[in-house]
């Protein structure tokens, strides 16, 4: 029986790239996304993929999708890539209640619902894994990104806790912490609405990492099953170092950049 992976945010970006890599190695992949049209395009690009148009905030949708996928995988779930998320930016006092609620409910609750819905399948599959997508924004909170950072910091703690809880059951849990990755999500976060986000990133002296590097990292995490938190991109590694060894300097740099 082929290995099986269920991937949220699978219609584009990191989710789609990881799905394509796994499918090329013979995995059965289930792609979940709120973007139904994007899912159709993804299914055309990955023959044999199962697709599920769903909102990760909906517990019932999680249960229905995973039950259907388990029927096609022979009850296997080797890998849950709990990856779906949205980019929300802006100063807290200027954000709408709707944007705040949407950002927190998708980036936190949606991942929690997925973990709960998938647990029994993961437990029943020897050597299974769940990776949640955090971010470099989960290493250091940046001005203008408080709600996004809140969700990504939450994923750090969530992964650590479940790595301890589920490790006893043979389930590896890790968090993926990419910096700026060349995906469609990059087009939705910027503190300066008058500047293209790519320009903002490069003006700050930061790099944009190819999505292929993220795919390699995810595959490495699945093979090694060791570290809880894994960074991708030079920016993420630099932030991790500075947050640990130079926190006051990092805070000063961030305040200066925001001004």
Catalytic residue among 6, 27, 69, 148: 148
In terms of residues, how long is the chain? Answer: 259
Separation CA 163–CA 187 (nearest Å):
32
Exposure string of 35-65, with b = 16+ CB inside 10 Å and e = fewer, is eeebbeebbeebeebbbbbbebeeeebbeeb
Does the annotation mark 148 as catalytic?
yes
Percent of all residues in the chain with a pLDDT value above 90, rounded to a whole number? 71
Separation CA 35–CA 108 (nearest Å):
19
126: DSSP letter: T
pTM of the model as a whole: 0.88
Residue 243: its pLDDT value, please? 76
The mean predicted confidence, pLDDT, of the chain is 89
Q: Can you give the C-alpha Rg of the chain in angstroms?
A: 18
Tens digits of residue pLDDT in 154-184 = 999 999 999 999 999 999 999 999 987 654 5
Residue 183: its pLDDT value, please? 47
């Amino acid at each position: 029986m082929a290995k099986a992976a269920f991937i949220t945010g699978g219609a584009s970006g990191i989710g789609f790239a990881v799905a394509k890599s796994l499918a090329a190695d013979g995995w059965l992949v289930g792609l979940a996304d709120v973007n139904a049209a994007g899912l159709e395009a993804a299914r055309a690009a990955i023959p044999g993929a199962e697709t599920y148009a769903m909102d990760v905030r909906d517990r019932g949708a999680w249960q229905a999708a995973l039950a259907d996928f388990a029927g096609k995988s022979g009850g296997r779930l080797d890998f849950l890539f709990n990856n779906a998320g949205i980019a929300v930016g802006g100063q807290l006092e200027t954000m709408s209640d709707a944007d705040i609620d949407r950002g927190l409910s998708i980036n936190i609750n949606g991942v929690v619902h997925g973990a709960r819905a998938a647990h029994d399948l993961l437990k029943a599959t020897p050597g299974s894994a769940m990776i949640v997508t955090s971010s470099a924004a989960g290493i250091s909170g940046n001005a203008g990104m408080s709600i996004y950072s809140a969700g990504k910091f939450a994923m750090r703690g969530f992964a650590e806790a479940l790595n301890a809880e589920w490790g006893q059951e043979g389930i590896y849990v890790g968090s993926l912490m990419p910096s700026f990755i060349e995906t469609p999500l990059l087009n939705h976060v910027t503190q300066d609405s008058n500047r293209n986000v790519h320009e903002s990133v490069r003006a700050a002296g930061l790099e944009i990492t190819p999505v292929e590097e993220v795919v390699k990292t995810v595959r490495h995490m699945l093979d090694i099953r060791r570290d809880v938190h894994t960074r991708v991109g030079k920016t993420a590694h630099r932030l991790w170092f500075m947050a640990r060894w130079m926190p006051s300097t990092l805070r000063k740099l961030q305040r200066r950049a925001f001004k």
